[in-house]
Amino acid sequence: MVRCEIRKKWLVLQPEEFVRQLLLHFLIKDMKYNRNRITVERGVAVNGEPRRTDILVFDQQMRPFLLIECKAPKVPLTTDVFRQAAHYNGPLRVPYLMISNGRESYVAAIDYEAQDYQLLLQIPEWI
């Protein structure tokens, strides 16, 4: 069992949940993200279908800022995983997308105008 700082409840520590909690700890403790601007498993409608984002961070103006898709450590981070995160991002239009399995992580800055993205070396600072 693990206590989620965001959801304020005890959860079964499944492999994907371990990665999610590891990232939340890193965002809050190391990157100094405001815990009050982070949601976990937030519902979002994608093409009319209900979905849940793993981690969604909002900026100081409460605009979606960073969307993180978490996978279990044994799940390889393929283009399909990045596509899944991009699909969930459709209605959100965050400036940053991240995928992680706890062993490796990729962060991308999204340029909507150019319909392109750029991989970053680190998670952006919270604004």
Prediction pTM value: 0.92
What is the mean pLDDT of the segment spanning 65-75? 97
Give the rounded percent of residues in the chain with a pLDDT score beyond 90.
72
Q: For the chain, how far is it from start to end, CA to CA, in angstroms? A: 32
Which CATH fold would you assign to the domain 2-120?
tt1808, chain A (3.90.1570)
Cβ partners under 8 Å of residue 49, min gap 6: none
Domain extents in the chain: 2-120
Q: Does 87 have pLDDT greater than 90?
A: no
